[in-house]
Amino acid sequence: DKPSYKWRRVLLKVSGEALAGDHTQNIDPKITMAIAREVASVTRLGIEASLKPLLSFICSMTFLFSPLESSLNLVVVTKFPFSVLVVVLLQYHVELWVAIVVGGGNIFRGSSRAGCSGLDRSSADYIGMLATVMNAIFLQATMESIGIPTRVQTAFRMSEVAEPYIRRRAVRHLEKGRVVIFAAGTGNPFFTTDTAAALRCAEINAEVVLKATNVDGVYDDDPRRNPNARLHDTLTYHEVTSKDLSVMDMTAITLCQENNIPVVVFNLTKSGNIAKAIKGERVGTLIGG
C-alpha cells in the first residue's frame, strides 16, 4: 500500500527530559537511537533507500538504450516501459522531512538555577542553551551512525561545532533529505525550546509541532499523583491557555495559535509513536483551533 502520512513537513520537539529516559539527568543513548531509527523509517531516507538502486538502474538503462533507439526506432519499446515504471515509483515516493528542536532540561534549566550563587537569569539561560547544543550533537552523532545525514544549526554562532541557523539553508538541507537539528533554542534568554520549536516551525513552514514527552499526552490532572486523571484526545489552544494546562509555556502556545500550527503531544518512550504521530494515527493529544 502507498504509505499515507498526514504531515509531510514535521517539526519534532524533543525535550531534555525525554532524552534522559529513566535517568533524571543526562542522555540515554537508547532513547537517541530509538529517535534516530524512527525518524529514518518515516522520512525520505527510509523510503528512498529501497528505491534508489531501482531508480539508478532505470536511469542507466534509459541512457544505454538511447543511441539504439534513434537508429532502430525503439523509443516505444525501451523508454515507454521505463517511464511508466518511474511514474509508478514516484507515486510511492513520499516526500517527507523532519526537523528537530532539542531541549536541554536534562542538563541545565535556566529558570530553576538562576539566583544560585549569584547566577543571573540571562547567564543561567545561556548555560541552558549550551546544554541544548550538547544534546543536539549527541543526537546528530547517533543519527549519522545509522546513516542519516544530519546537520546541527545553532541559534548563535559556534561555527567550529555546528552551522549557524540560516533559514533558507535549513530548508535546503531538509529538501535534500537531511535531518536538521536546531540547537540553542531561540538564541535569547528568557525563552524556552518550546518557543523555539513553534518559531522554527513557522519559519521553515512545517505543518505541525510533534512534542515528544515522557507522558502519553495532556491530562486534566497530574497522572503521577491522580490515577483517575483523564487524557485529552484533543484540545483547543484556548482550552490550553484558559485552563492553564502545562503543555507549553504561554509564548510557545500563543505563537502556535497565531500561526495555526497544530501541536501533537505524545509519549516518546513508546516505540512507534513518532511514526504514528506523523501518520496522523490516534496518539497523545492534538491541540489545534
Residues within the interface to ligand UDP (CB under 6 A) = 15-17, 103-105, 109-111, 124-125, 128-129, 131-132, 185-186, 188-189, 191-196
Distances (CA, A) of 10 to 40, 49, 137, 138, 218: 13, 20, 20, 21, 20
Report the half-sphere exposure of 267 (CA within 13 A, side-chain side).
13
Q: Based on CB atoms, which residue is closest to ligand UDP, 103 or 217?
A: 103
| Torsions phi, psi for 13 (to 5 deg) | -105, 120
3-state SS assignment for residue 249: coil
In the complex, the smallest distance separating the C-beta of residue 122 from ligand UDP, rounded to whole angstroms, is: 8
Which residues contact residue 200 at a Cβ distance below 8 angstroms, ignoring those fewer than 6 apart?
11, 99, 101, 170, 182, 206
- The least CB distance from residue 215 to ligand UDP, in Å, is 13
Output 96 or 165, the one with its CB closest to ligand UDP.
Answer: 165
In this complex, which beta carbon is closest to ligand UDP, that of residue 97 or of residue 191?
A: 191
- Residue with Cβ nearer ligand UDP (42 or 131): 131
Segment (H or E) for 93: none
Minimum distance, C-beta of residue 249 to ligand UDP, in the bound complex (Å): 8
Q: How far is the CB of 17 from ligand UDP (least distance, A)?
A: 5
15-46 burial code (b ≥16 CB/10 A, e <16): bbbbbbbeeeeebbeebbebbbbbbbebbbbb
Quick one: CA dihedral 119, 123, 126, 127, positive or negative? negative
CB of 100 to ligand UDP, least distance (A): 12
The least CB distance from residue 39 to ligand UDP, in Å, is 18
Closest-CB residue for ligand UDP? 103
Task: Rank residues 128 and 217 by Cβ distance to ligand UDP and give the closer one.
Answer: 128
**Closer to ligand UDP by Cβ: residue 150 or 186:** 186
